[in-house]
Amino acid sequence: MQIVTAAVMEKDGKILIAQRRRGDHQQYKWELPGGKLESHETPEECLRRELREEFGIETEIGEFLGSSDCHYRHTSIRLMAFRAYHISGELNVLDHETIKWVVPSELVNFDFSEPDKPIIQLLTGIKK
Residue 126 pLDDT level (bands cut at 50, 70, 90): low
Three-class DSSP category at 57: coil
Q: What is the pLDDT of residues 48-65, one digit of tens each?
A: 999 999 999 999 999 999
Assign 125 a pLDDT band (cuts: 50, 70, 90): confident
* 3-class state of residue 86 by DSSP: strand
**125 vs 122: CA distance, rounded Å:** 5
> What whole-number distance in Å separates Cα of residue 13 and Cα of residue 102?
8
pTM: 0.91
Residues 6+ apart with CB under 8 A from 25: none
Average pLDDT over the chain, rounded to an integer:
93
**pLDDT given for residue 4 in this prediction:** 96
The CATH number of residue 107's host domain is 3.90.79.10
Reported as a single tens digit per residue, the pLDDT across 14-37 is: 999 999 988 777 778 999 999 999
Containing structural domain, residue 24: 2-124
Q: How confident is the model at residue 127 (pLDDT cuts 50, 70, 90)?
A: low
What is the identity of the amino acid at 123? L
Domain count, the chain: 1
Specify the DSSP class assigned to residue 96. Answer: S
